């Protein structure tokens, strides 16, 4: 049974008749439509997963295995790429502390107005001395300088 599309568009419809007329006209949901809908759903799901992974700071499972396989000499460099650093105070010049990292590298740490120094109790830059071991939390600049938010003195090595 074939229905002229012009007649279909100009004829009056009642609510019950619409489904029957569309079926008679051969206008159901096509395979192409279903395939495109499935592909769109897959893309949206994938992108949602990527966004969640980024938002939650996930790491790939292969990364820890790679870190274990690297020689010990490369691990201190990875630690220094983090947001903070640790080391022994080599010298202090004004609002700048120079640390000696475990690998022997010197790290420049600068104080800001927001920097707090923790030495078993609240302290200040004047409470730090060469030879102290400290942990620094802060932001690392491109040149390697760390602007400290907090400096915590660590217990002396035994």
One pLDDT digit (tens) per residue for the chain, 158 residues: 577 777 777 777 665 666 666 666 665 677 888 899 889 998 888 888 877 776 665 444 444 444 444 444 444 444 444 578 888 899 999 889 999 888 889 999 998 888 888 666 788 888 888 988 888 889 889 998 999 988 888 776 54
| Alpha carbon distance 131, 49 (integer Å) | 48
Which residue in this structure is represented by tokens 């939390």? 137
User: Where does the chain have alpha helices with state H?
Assistant: 5-10, 17-24, 31-56, 62-69, 75-80
Domains annotated on the chain, with CATH: 5-56 (no CATH), 75-153 (2.40.50.140)
70 contacts: CB under 8 Å, gap ≥ 6: 78
| Alpha carbon distance 153, 142 (integer Å) | 25
| Alpha carbon distance 44, 40 (integer Å) | 6
């Amino acid at each position: 049974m074939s229905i002229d599309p012009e007649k279909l568009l100009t004829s009056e419809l009642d609510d019950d008749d619409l489904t029957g007329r569309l079926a008679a006209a051969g206008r159901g949901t096509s395979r192409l439509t279903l395939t495109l809908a499935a592909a769109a759903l897959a893309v949206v799901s994938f992108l949602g997963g990527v966004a969640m992974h980024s938002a939650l700071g996930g790491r790939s499972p292969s990364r820890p295995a790679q870190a274990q396989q690297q020689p010990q000499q490369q691990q201190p460099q990875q630690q220094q790429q983090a947001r903070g650093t640790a080391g022994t105070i080599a010298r202090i010049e004004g609002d700048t502390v120079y640390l000696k990292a475990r690998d022997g590298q010197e790290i420049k740490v600068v104080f800001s107005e927001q920097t707090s120094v923790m030495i078993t109790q609240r302290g200040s830059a004047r409470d730090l001395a060469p030879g102290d071991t400290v942990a620094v939390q802060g932001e690392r600049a491109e040149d390697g300088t760390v602007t400290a938010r907090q400096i915590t003195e660590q217990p002396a090595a035994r």
